[in-house]
Amino acid sequence: MSKELATRFDPRAIEPARYRAWQEGGHFHVPASAVAEGGKEPYVIVIPPPNVTAVLHMGHGLNNTIQDVLIRWRRMQGRASLWIPGTDHAGIATQNVVERRLAAQGKHRTDLGREAFVAEVWDFVHHTGGSILEQLKAIGSSCDWERTRFTLDDDLSRAVREVFVRLYEKGLVYRGEYIINWCPRCHTALSNEEAEPTETEGRMWDLRYPLAPEACEAAATAAAMGATALSRLDDGRWTLTVSTTRPETMLGDTGVAVHPEDERYQALVGAMVELPLTGRRIPIVADAYVDPEFGSGMVKVTPAHDPNDFEIAQRTGIAVMDVMTPDGRMAENAPERFRGMERFEARAAVLAAFAELGLAAGEKVHVHAVPQCYRCHTVVEPRLSLQWFVRMKPLAEPALQASRDGTITFTPDRWKKVYEHWMENIRDWCISRQLWWGHRIPVWYCGCGEVIAVREDPTACPKCGSAALERDPDVLDTWFSSWLWPFSVLGWPEETEDLKAFYPGHTMVTAPEILFFWVARMIMAGYEFRGEAPFTQVYLHGTVRDAKGRKMSKSLGNGIDPLHVVHEFGADAMRYTLVSQCAIGTDILLDHEDVEGSFAAGRNFSNKIWNAGRFALMSLGDGPVKPLAEVRGAMELEDRWILARLEHAVAASTQDLERFRLHEVAEDLYHFFWGEICDWYLELVKARLAPGADAASREAARTTLVLALDGAFRLLHPIMPFITAELWSRLPWPEGELRPQDLIVAPWPTLDPTLGDPEAEALMGALQELIVEVRRLRKEYGIGEGVRITIHVHAPDPAVAATVAEQGAALERLARVGRVSTEPSGAGIGAHAVLKSGIELFLPLEGVIDVERERTRLAGEIAKLDAQLASTEKKLANESFVSRAPAEVVDKEREKAAGLREQAAKLGEKLDALQGVAS
RNA sequence: GGUCGCUUAGCUCAGCUGGUAGAGCACCACGUUCACAUCGUGGGGGUCGCAGGUUCAAGUCCUGCAGCGACCACCA
């Protein structure tokens, strides 16, 4: 059977079949009955649902690898480990994709009409959607596919509607006119989180507004008080100067504000301003929002286009005037010359008009964060609009408490503070979107003024009986369904068996970018609708970036396709590489221009595991091995040592997994497998496994090797499921011991006190040190592989001495030592070393190397170094060099001299040893 | 503007409760009778950003400074 194994690991030959076998074996599916009384303890993760139209990228690769590692580990620990998969309908994103396809055919969604357009989107989703879930299988994700959900599924839609109506009845959902973020391209409202502030170099313009003639006297008084905003034009009119970054909004100004306690402007409060270009007169009002220290201390107020100005209008009662259309053009109520103009054109036109009137007062460069639509990056327009909101303060209370009292933990924990800060300052959530793709708002309006929010579609108005009801045209924000995900996927609002069994869940694995969008809201929904947090651990991983630290993205073309990596190097190689870089709170860096190099660590490790496994299987042969108890007496030092090391690996990996220190698990296991099993244990037992070796010793080695590999494969399985399962399935097994059906359900190793062996570790440590030192000396003196040498060893510790004496075979095999002498080395020509274990080592060189030649060689090298040193020193002694050459050059020369001296001294010591001088 | 974080080998970063500075990649030399050249063996390379302080002991704790980054925020 071992003949079937190729010398190079070929993931394609094993991964798809393995995955199929797991799925067919039902290992991913967890029914509610599994946790029914007396059953297993559940462990539940709900997937962050990718957009239904998404294509797998490395970010998904990372996110899902981490989840799968946790799920597989808990499954092996005997938990009912459930990972619920699914996709998100992704309102704007999906609608945009379909609109673009329509645009390619020269059509707009309005050409189709609402119903046909939605049908078109469904069609698109049915044909191309969800393929990302198939791609997740290729990287080994062990989701319970029987539970796959989509946020627009009927039952999830029912949950959404139930929640909306409940919150409406509780007064937590309300409708109102507020300034919202409006995307003039997507034609929809955006939540605060969807409007991304983007650092932009813009301008701030100063504009002059003339005061009404009757305010002349007041202006003079104010000017005398030091009103810096005031100035007089050549024609004698008084003007005040205001600043703005968006001059076009001045067409909607309905007032100018000053601080109520700003004495400079007291006389002007209540006076009127003649708003240029519009022919309108607007009042000067007092409002505490104005900062007297900033600029001139006078602010133009545009209530319909700025949230703060809107609030000023609410407080002072000045008018609200919306001068823009939904697509960002100047509206009907704007002066005729600007009407219909696009907002940025209007900006230029307004500025030109001000200049013409002599009312432009200058401009300056102004860097500020301009909000952009997170989907299309169009500059967002703050706009007055009638929208639906959720009152968040009451919902935030328990969710904030949960973080404060440690019910919910964050990893890395610095996000705890960020979360709490956001929750403390939470603002109401605008949930209506002017889209067609999504959950339609379950609200009907009656001509009589009644607003009806209900669970079942109404046929008549409950108040007046009219059947002429009009449904709200808008849909809900995508996150209004995702925030319910942890319980809606379990059948809520029905009180299902699944809900009882699997709610609350345990770990949420996601990126910090959606901490507010999603994680915080899920926690709030969990408390509001289930009375309990949906999970207790939030693990926030880093972002996948390219070699230059840029986020991987389609537009930059710097992405790496996970499926390509799986195809070339295997899912295990990809998973290992990602996990090994996954230090808490750090980003993952991969070079899209060197994919092979980026995943070399994982690929090489896979190959190493494969070859070690191959060799072990060949050496072990087909028969079962003896149980540990039967071979204990015949065990050698290396057997006891490797099992003790396995115990360390078990302890470390388990602890690290519990604390999400995944990269340390990867590192520990890499070192255990490669650095200990391969580099030492396999090398040491080769002879004992060979045919013709002592039977008892061979059996002890066979059993130990099987136990060590079994343990290593189990520990590695969550990270590298395929290769470990493949090799593990071929391992011989101890006679009479029950073998789990598949590695995926083999129990996670627990500590076995009978395997711990500090003595074996100490002795093995001494032996390793000795071997390494002998190898080093061999290299140093150029003693070829073929030359057997004698070493003299004196160990003060009798146990170490005995070990060295017993381990002649190991020294022979690993350091080509022909003879170990315990006699005092005496004086002689050779190399001497004292090791940390206390071993004094002497390696005679007479007869081993051509001492005379080596002496000559060393002397020659020393002479060469001396010559170089002399020339350097001469240079440094030259005063004009030292004083005239640049300081760095002189320093470099000094460093060089020091280096040469050091090298010469080292070689001198070596030479002394060869002279036979006792040191 | 506020908050938080980072600064350790050429590169990317570990270093969790203070106790002789680590890994991977890259580099240099040697090696193909050995399961693996996707390998083996050995090696070079770091005043742990700077300045103070606490301590028997500081990369690790405290203070200040500098540089970089992230998040939040309405400054017209």
Q: Which residues, 6 or more positions from A658, have their beta carbon under 8 angstroms from its beta carbon?
A: none
Which of A175-179, A200-204, A672-676 comes out lowest in average pLDDT?
A200-204
Burial of A91 (0-12, 13-18, 19+ CB in 10 A): buried
Element (H, E) at A566: helix A562-569
Is the pLDDT at A376 greater than 90? The verdict is no
* pLDDT digits 0-9 by tens, A492-543: 999 999 999 999 999 999 988 888 889 999 999 999 999 999 999 999 988 8
Cβ A772 to strand B below 7 Å: yes
Q: Which residues of A in 370-429 have their CB below 7 Å from strand B's atoms?
A: 414, 417-418, 421-422, 425, 427
Nearest nucleotide by C1' position to the A615 CA atom: B35
Name the closest residue (CA) to the C1' of nucleotide B35: A615
Please state whether beta strands A238-244 and A230-232 pair in parallel, antiparallel, or not at all (unpaired): antiparallel
Closest CA to A183 of A339, A382, A478: A382
Residue A13: DSSP 8-state: G
Rounded to whole angstroms, the distance from the CA of residue A645 to the C1' of nucleotide B9 is 29
Rounded to whole angstroms, the distance from the CA of residue A140 to the C1' of nucleotide B38 is 22
Nearest nucleotide by C1' position to the A291 CA atom: B75
pLDDT band at A918 (very low <50, low <70, confident <90, very high): very low
Nearest nucleotide by C1' position to the A7 CA atom: B36
* Whole-number pLDDT of residue A905: 76
Is the pLDDT at A3 greater than 50? The verdict is no
Whether residue A493 has a cis bond before it, omega within 30° of 0 = yes
Rounded to whole angstroms, the distance from the CA of residue A546 to the C1' of nucleotide B13 is 15
Rounded to whole angstroms, the distance from the CA of residue A421 to the C1' of nucleotide B72 is 9
* Whole-number pLDDT of residue A859: 80
- The C-alpha atoms of residue A787 and residue A575 are separated, in whole angstroms, by 44
- The C-alpha atoms of residue A399 and residue A690 are separated, in whole angstroms, by 63
Rounded to whole angstroms, the distance from the CA of residue A664 to the C1' of nucleotide B22 is 13
* pLDDT digits 0-9 by tens, A161-182: 999 999 999 999 999 888 888 9
Chain B bases near protein Cβ (<7 Å):
3-5, 12-16, 20, 23-26, 29, 31, 33-43, 71-76
Nearest nucleotide by C1' position to the A681 CA atom: B35
- The C-alpha atoms of residue A416 and residue A775 are separated, in whole angstroms, by 52
Mean pLDDT across chain A: 89
* pLDDT digits 0-9 by tens, A5-42: 778 889 988 999 999 999 999 999 999 999 987 889 99
Please state whether beta strands A195-210 and A188-190 pair in parallel, antiparallel, or not at all (unpaired): unpaired
- The C-alpha atoms of residue A575 and residue A567 are separated, in whole angstroms, by 13
Please name the residue that has the structure tokens 């009292």.
A405
Is the pLDDT at A80 greater than 70? The verdict is yes
Tell me the three state secondary structure of residue A444. strand
Residue A440: DSSP 8-state: B
Cβ A548 to strand B below 7 Å: no
Complete DSSP assignment for A84-147: E-EEB--HHHHHHHHHHHHHHTT--HHHH-HHHHHHHHHHHHHHHTTHHHHHHHHTT----GGG
Rounded to whole angstroms, the distance from the CA of residue A413 to the C1' of nucleotide B3 is 15
pLDDT band at A435 (very low <50, low <70, confident <90, very high): confident
Cβ A674 to strand B below 7 Å: yes
* Whole-number pLDDT of residue A47: 96
* Degrees to nearest 5, angle at CA A347 with A343 and A351: 165
- The C-alpha atoms of residue A670 and residue A572 are separated, in whole angstroms, by 13
pTM of this structure: 0.89
Provide the β-strand partners of residue A201. A367
pLDDT band at A917 (very low <50, low <70, confident <90, very high): very low
Q: Which residues of A in 226-265 have their CB below 7 Å from strand B's atoms?
A: 242-246
Percent of chain A having pLDDT more than 90?
A: 57
* Whole-number pLDDT of residue A34: 92
- The C-alpha atoms of residue A329 and residue A343 are separated, in whole angstroms, by 5
pLDDT band at A916 (very low <50, low <70, confident <90, very high): low
Contact A516, A415 (CB under 8 A): no
Mean pLDDT of A796-812: 92
Cβ A299 to strand B below 7 Å: yes
pLDDT band at A782 (very low <50, low <70, confident <90, very high): confident
Nearest nucleotide by C1' position to the A659 CA atom: B16
- The C-alpha atoms of residue A540 and residue A547 are separated, in whole angstroms, by 22
Closest CA to A428 of A175, A184, A641, A204: A175
Name the closest residue (CA) to the C1' of nucleotide B4: A414
Half-sphere exposure of A50 (CA within 13 A, CB side): 22
Burial of A4 (0-12, 13-18, 19+ CB in 10 A): exposed
Q: Which residues of A in 433-492 have their CB below 7 Å from strand B's atoms?
A: none
Rounded to whole angstroms, the distance from the CA of residue A34 to the C1' of nucleotide B37 is 49
Cβ A667 to strand B below 7 Å: yes
Nearest nucleotide by C1' position to the A680 CA atom: B40
Cβ A295 to strand B below 7 Å: yes
Residue A76: DSSP 8-state: H
Mean pLDDT of A234-253: 91
Enter the ipTM.
Answer: 0.94
Q: Which residues of A in 738-767 have their CB below 7 Å from strand B's atoms?
A: none
Q: Which residues, 6 or more positions from A601, have their beta carbon under 8 angstroms from its beta carbon?
A: A576, A577, A580
Name the closest residue (CA) to the C1' of nucleotide B16: A661
Nearest nucleotide by C1' position to the A607 CA atom: B38
Cβ A9 to strand B below 7 Å: yes
Q: Which residues of A in 555-594 have their CB below 7 Å from strand B's atoms?
A: 581, 583-587, 589
Please name the residue that has the structure tokens 């005092």.
A824
* Whole-number pLDDT of residue A892: 64
Percent of chain A having pLDDT more than 70?
A: 97
Cβ A3 to strand B below 7 Å: no
Nearest nucleotide by C1' position to the A671 CA atom: B23
Strands (DSSP E) contained in A233-359 are 238-244, 255-258, 272-275, 280-286, 299-301
Distances (CA, A) of A9 to A223, A608, A621, A624: 85, 9, 20, 25
Rounded to whole angstroms, the distance from the CA of residue A634 to the C1' of nucleotide B43 is 39
Name the closest residue (CA) to the C1' of nucleotide B36: A611
Burial of A623 (0-12, 13-18, 19+ CB in 10 A): exposed
Rounded to whole angstroms, the distance from the CA of residue A561 to the C1' of nucleotide B26 is 25
Name the closest residue (CA) to the C1' of nucleotide B3: A418
Burial of A488 (0-12, 13-18, 19+ CB in 10 A): buried
Contact A109, A436 (CB under 8 A): yes
Which of A769-773, A817-821, A849-853 comes out lowest in average pLDDT?
A849-853
Q: Which residues, 6 or more positions from A17, have their beta carbon under 8 angstroms from its beta carbon?
A: none
* pLDDT digits 0-9 by tens, A807-825: 998 999 899 898 998 877 6
Which of A58-72, A430-444, A754-768, A869-883 comes out lowest in average pLDDT?
A869-883
Contact A287, A315 (CB under 8 A): yes
